[in-house]
Every structure is written in structure tokens, then in C-alpha cells.
Structure 1
Amino acid sequence: MNILSLYRQFFDSVCYFPKLPIKSFLIFLLTLVHFGFSVDVFAAETATENPTVATEVTPKVAKPPELSTYKLEVGDSFVVTVDGYSEYSKERIPVPVQQDGYVSYPLIGLIKVAGLTVSELEAQMQSAFSKHLPAARVFVTLMRPKRTILVFGAVEPRARGNLHVFEIGQVYLLQALASAGINYEAADLTDISIWRTGKLYKRIDYLQLMSSGGPDIPLKDYDTIYIPSIFQQRPVRVIGAVVAPGVYPIMTPQVPATQILKIAGGSRSDFADLHKSEILTSKERILVNLAAENVNAMLGPGDTLYVPLAEAKISVIGAVEKPGQYIITEPVLLGQAIAMAGGFNEERANPKKCLLTRADGTEEALDFDQVHSEVYLNPKDQLRVRERTRLDWRVITFATSFVNLLVTVLVRYR
């Protein structure tokens, strides 16, 4: 029974009783309050003993699936934590997979990582570290891999050009087409072509692929997808390492390739490889040397002029794990350049004393901790990481002994 109803019954009926002395009335009132409090406590204990009453079941939230089956490729990067040995951890600067599929890591040397899953790489590094540090525990975390796909032809124009960068492990044809945005009014969807390493890889009938329900076509890094148009007369397209890639109308059946390059603002001088430029038509791919004096190549309506990126190089030397020259396709940050060289040599490097020599010979003294995300390296730049000043106590001891001996001889025979 609710304590409030007891109170109400009490006060409704108190008027029927003869007047009681004040002391007796207070004792009766305190007894009633104590009784009400005991009823509430009993009800609370009963609810606790019976958990099926007024109990909500919270649904379990499933954890997102891990990227456990993805295999590392050239260009991927990862961070490493060696528990208990921070000097061997690479948590601040990711470790990139080099062109040969290997990485160089302190204490354990070269490791073949291309083709391994994260779990396999972690197990392999754990085994290698255990030979030197039995108590070490190794954890590997994959950074988001990037895949670059070129889609051109009958697609919607984009301000940033036709190179699409996907931060996922595996890219498929339908993903690339959806990202590019097909121009359905002009596209010939029955003859889409995929080019790989300069050769025709496969022709796809998009309509048949969709009606049959797949399977989708997996793509590789730097694959090129061409979507032809159903119209005969259409403008030319310029893509790649030019100042202003895009679509440009032409008024004549044939236009020189050099003129189209000028219309697009010219090439990006530091990164364009004019010797390996290409003219892409609906039937073939023509190699053109736009750096030559006399270029006779012509473009017609619907053709595409592609100026590839040059293999520009930078040098990273000094107290790093893997000094040498590295290929870049765009300006890279100071931190990225150090990561390409395998990171600092923890025993010898002095990050506060970096020297950047530009291609024109000018030099800049840099503190890595302050400018690692601000300063960019361009082609032909050289970055030197200076070593810490270390004292050779053997030389100092020998010099001290020699001086003492010389002083002793001079004092004795003076």
C-alpha cells in the first residue's frame, strides 16, 4: 500500500477521534512515519531480489570488422609499437613499403612485407625481435592505403582533374566509375577499356556487367579507365602533369599536340615527363615526345593528351636508417622525406640539426620538431640529418696522459 494513502486515511479519520494529549499524538505520528519508511525499504529490496522486474536488456553492439585479409603493397605504410622498448617504436613517423617490397627496420634489418597481411607482418617482426629482445611485444597498425586510378573519356568534368585517389585497400571498377561520374548522355557503355602498365588489359560491357550481377573487376594502382563517347565530334582532353588539365574544344579536325599543351597552360616543369607523353584515342595509345624540337603528332575530336609525371628524385642522407635517393611525384613534406628514408637513426641522429640544400644551391638550417609539417622538398633537393656530437674518451684519455708526461719531462729537465 502506498504510504501517501495511509497518510490520507489517517488525516481523514483523525477528526473522528476525541482530542488526544499532545505527547500521545506525537508518539502516534512518529510510529506511522516509521511504518511507511519500512514499507518503502521492503519494496526496494524485493525489486532487487527479482531482476526480471523492470529490467532492460541492452543490445550488444557489434564491432566493425578489421582489415585482416588485406595484403600490403608497395606504397602502403604502417606504424610499429615495440612495447617496453620505445627506442625501437615507429609511432610518430609511418614506415613506408619501398619499391622493392622491403622495409628496413632498426635492430632486425630488412623485412619483406609486400604480400603479407598485418597479422603476418606482426608475427614475423615479433619473431625477429624475440631473438634480440625476448620480452618485447610488437604491434603493427596499417595506415590507410591509397590507390590512384585515372578515369577519363565520357565522364563529368572535375576541377581537380581525372586522377582519383581511394583510401581503401582494394578498388573495383564500379567504385572508380561511380567516383568519376559517368556522362550517361554521351558515354558508350558497351566498350569501356581498362589499361594497365601501358597495355590494354580488358574491355568491359558495362550494361552486361550490371545486368548479369558481376563479378566486379578489381583494379590495381595507377590503372587507367577509358569511357568512349557515342558522338563523333567532341573536344579534346588534356590530363596529367599540366598546369590546367581539362576539356578544350577544337574548331578543326586536327590540332597539333604542342598547341593543345600550350592551351592547357604548359607542363609542370619539375614533375612532367614530356618524353613519354601519350595521345589516347578510342582505338590506340600513341607515344609522343613533346620535348623534341619538331613534333608532328596531331589530336582529333575525342582524343586525350596525357602528360605523365616524371620520376623526380630527392636525396636524404646523414643519420637516417636508409640514406639515398627517392622518387617523388609531388612536393613532399620534411616528415615524409624522413619516413621514406626509414626514419632517424635513433643512436646518431640530431633532429634539431637538419640541413636542406635546394636545387639552386641555397641552404636552410631546420629543426625537424618545429617544421616537419611545414617545409616541402622539391625535385633535386637534398636533406642532410646531422649526427650528434659524441666524445671519444679513449682519445681524451690518451691526450691527457700525453700532456701530463710532457709537463713532467719539462719540469724535470728544466
Structure 2
Amino acid sequence: MKIRMASGLWALWTCLFLLVPALAQEAGSGLIGSRDSVEVRVFREDNLTTRGQLSLEGEIEVPLIGAVRLAGLSTTEAARVIEARLRDGYLVKPEVTVAITARVRKTVTVLGQAQRPGVFQIDPNRELTLIEAIGLAGGMTRIANEKKVTLKRKGSERAYRVNVKAIAAGEAKDIPLRDGDVISIPESLF
């Protein structure tokens, strides 16, 4: 009985020992966005640890190897890329981990005659269109003017008039949105 119980506890301990690091890594893992902050660690090489936000190009400076593009890669893929570059003349068998420490959030605002107007957070690694943003807001109300929707870009003085009815009918192209865009849906006069 004691042997069976000891082996059961040993199996449980082994599972926990293997599972806890995997869960810790999962919290900072995933697809790396172009302006996310990351931490790059090289096992037994503390002086190569790098923390920071990726550049606009999605790169980070790593000691010895310089700029490395990480945007669009998973944390595991990014670690493999850095390991390969470090193996090329610097370290014999580097072991690298990459974790996302902070994600840059992108938002789009939908105002006016939407079912649920508000600020919507969008995945930084996904393109969102005007029609999709209106869909996130529950669509337009029945008194909305679909032909005179305005789109204001962050940092721009100009607002663009958009005919959403024409886009929905396939007569015009949908518009890819950018971080900070504001969509205003006016009320129809009649």
C-alpha cells in the first residue's frame, strides 16, 4: 500500500513540476504584436537578458546580435530565431525564452446611431474594417443615416464621409481601420 501511494504522489509531483512552468510560460506567450513589450532571456547568460518595447518595425535590440524582428512570431518561434542567431558565432548551445510583458491595445470608437455605441478594443494583430466595427457595436439603429457616416482618423483634422449602404451592397470597398479611429453614425432626418 505504501509503495502504491508513494508512486501516486510521485506521479502527482512530477505532473505539477512539469505543469507549473508551462502555465507560467503561457501567461506571457502568444503571437507578438508590432509594438508589444517583451522580455528575452538566455539561460545562464544574465547579461544578455533584454526587456523593452518593439520598434515600429517590430524589432528589438539583443546584445551581440543586434536588431531582431519578432512581430508576427509566436514567443516560441521568436526564441528559436534568437537561438539560431546566437549559435551563429556567439554561443554553443543557447537556450532562449521570450515572454510578452505588455501588449499594445488598439481601440476603435463607434458613436451615434449604433445599437451599442462605445469604445471597442481590437486585436493588434488583426485588421478590422469599418463594417466589422459597426457590427461590433451591434449594427445601426433603424433611424441611422447609412449614407452619411463619418470616419475621423486619430491625429487628422479631416473627417471622411462614408456611404456604409454602398459598402454593404458591394458597390464600394470596405475601409480598413487604424488604432484610434472614430466612427460617427448620424440620425436620418426622415
Equivalent residue runs for 1:311-330 within 5 Å? none
CA–CA distance in structure 1, aligned partners of residues 67 and 98 of structure 2: 14
Whether 1:73 aligns to 2:34 is yes
Provide Cα deviations, 1:212-249, integer angstroms capped at 9, x if missing partner: 287542211112212222149xxxxxxxxxxxxxxxxx
CA–CA distance in structure 1, aligned partners of residues 124 and 34 of structure 2: 12
Identity %: 19
Task: Please point out which of 134, 154, 159 is paired with 1:177.
Answer: 134
Equivalent residue runs for 1:82-161 within 5 Å? 82=42, 84-85=43-44, 87=46, 88=48, 95-97=52-54, 103-105=60-62, 107-108=63-64, 111=67, 113=69, 116-118=71-73, 125-130=82-87, 131-140=89-98, 146-156=105-115
Give the alignment's TM-score, normalised by structure 1.
0.30
Whether 1:226 aligns to 2:184 is yes
SS of the residue corresponding to residue 180 of structure 2 reads: coil
Equivalent residue runs for 1:11-410 within 5 Å? 72-74=33-35, 76-80=36-40, 82=42, 84-85=43-44, 87=46, 88=48, 95-97=52-54, 103-105=60-62, 107-108=63-64, 111=67, 113=69, 116-118=71-73, 125-130=82-87, 131-140=89-98, 146-156=105-115, 162-170=118-126, 171-196=128-153, 197-200=155-158, 202-212=160-170, 215-231=173-189
Check whether the contact 1:72–1:113 (CA below 8 A) recurs between aligned residues: no
Give the alignment's TM-score, normalised by structure 2.
0.57
Tell me which of the two structures has the higher relative contact order, counting C-alpha pairs closer than 8 angstroms and 6 or more residues apart.
2
Check whether the contact 1:81–1:89 (CA below 8 A) recurs between aligned residues: yes
CA–CA distance in structure 2, aligned partners of residues 213 and 134 of structure 1: 59
The alpha carbon displacement at 1:86 in A equals 6.9
The alpha carbon displacement at 1:125 in A equals 3.0
Gaps of 5+ in 1: 1-67, 233-414
Q: 1:157 to 1:104 in 2, by over 3 A?
A: same
Check whether the contact 1:145–1:167 (CA below 8 A) recurs between aligned residues: no
The alpha carbon displacement at 1:123 in A equals 6.3
Q: 1:112 to 1:203 in 2, by over 3 A?
A: farther
SS of the residue corresponding to residue 86 of structure 2 reads: helix
Check whether the contact 1:147–1:166 (CA below 8 A) recurs between aligned residues: yes
Gaps of 5+ in 2: 1-29
Amino acid at match of 1:73: S
Q: 1:202 to 1:129 in 2, by over 3 A?
A: farther
**Alignment size in residue pairs:** 154
Check whether the contact 2:41–2:97 (CA below 8 A) recurs between aligned residues: yes
Higher CA-based Rg: 1
The alpha carbon displacement at 1:117 in A equals 2.9
CA–CA distance in structure 2, aligned partners of residues 136 and 213 of structure 1: 55
Aligned-CA RMSD value = 4.0
1:297 maps to which residue? none
Check whether the contact 2:151–2:181 (CA below 8 A) recurs between aligned residues: yes
Check whether the contact 2:34–2:72 (CA below 8 A) recurs between aligned residues: no
Q: 1:166 to 1:127 in 2, by over 3 A?
A: same
SS of the residue corresponding to residue 212 of structure 1 reads: coil
